Amino acid sequence: MGVDGKLTRVTPEQYRARLVEELISLVPSLADFRERWLDPAQRKDLIEQLGAQGLIPDKLRDAAHMGEYDLFDVLAAVAYGVEPLTRTERAARFEDAGPDWFSILPPPATKVLRAVVRQFEKAGTDALETPELWQVAEVKRAKGLAALRPAGNPAELLRKTKESLFAI
């Protein structure tokens, strides 16, 4: 880790403490962190800002043996004291409780969004923000964007899905 402009070996505890310190200085509250996380450009900027300090959040996830967790949960847990949920738990919570707005969508749209949530379960946030999402077999079988358009703006529906997945 960079310390006083020099690369220095640190303990995992020191690395974690420094990452938490830097993250909180960049994003003081959990609400702000969640808001930045939901926006791909802001999330990328946040990760790059941490990286510029020699802090790589994925290393924390690896060190903590939290491979089944989205990076959102890893960071929210260490920096803001949130009980982390695995990607599977977040997906199940979405499926089980489902947000109010979801229940009024046409069935073809809900089928697509359920397929999207399953992609999150497999690969996390990044899986929701790649053009390849619409080429995934399950999403294609559900008619992807064509099935979402009658229900509203696909980008807005995807944003609402992410908001629901990352509800604390």
Q: Tell me, what's the pLDDT at 96?
A: 87
Contact of 164 with 99, CB cutoff 8 Å: yes
Residue 53 burial by CB count (10 A; 0-12/13-18/19+): exposed, middle or buried? middle
Indicate the residue among 80, 111, 134 that finishes a domain: 80
Task: Supply the pLDDT for residue 141.
Answer: 96
8-state DSSP, 126: G
pLDDT band (50, 70, 90) for residue 53:
confident
Are residues 7 and 70 both part of a single domain? yes
Residues of the chain above pLDDT 90, percent? 77
Cα→Cα distances 130→1, 10, 116, 119, 124, Å: 30, 35, 11, 11, 11
pLDDT tens profile 11-45:
888 889 999 999 999 999 999 999 999 999 999 99
Is residue 45 domain-shared with residue 104, that is, in the same domain? no
Report how far apart the first and last C-alpha atoms of the chain are (Å, whole number): 31
Q: What is the pLDDT of residues 114-161, one digit of tens each?
A: 999 999 999 999 999 999 999 999 999 999 999 999 999 999 999 999
3-state class of 4 per DSSP? coil
pTM of the predicted model as reported, rounded to 2 decimal places: 0.90
Which residues span the domain enclosing 111? 87-165
> For position 2, what pLDDT does the model report?
62
Q: Same domain for 97 and 73?
A: no
- In 3D space, the residue among 32, 33, 44, 38 whose CA is nearest the CA of residue 162 turns out to be 38
* Residues 73 and 115 grouped into a single domain: no
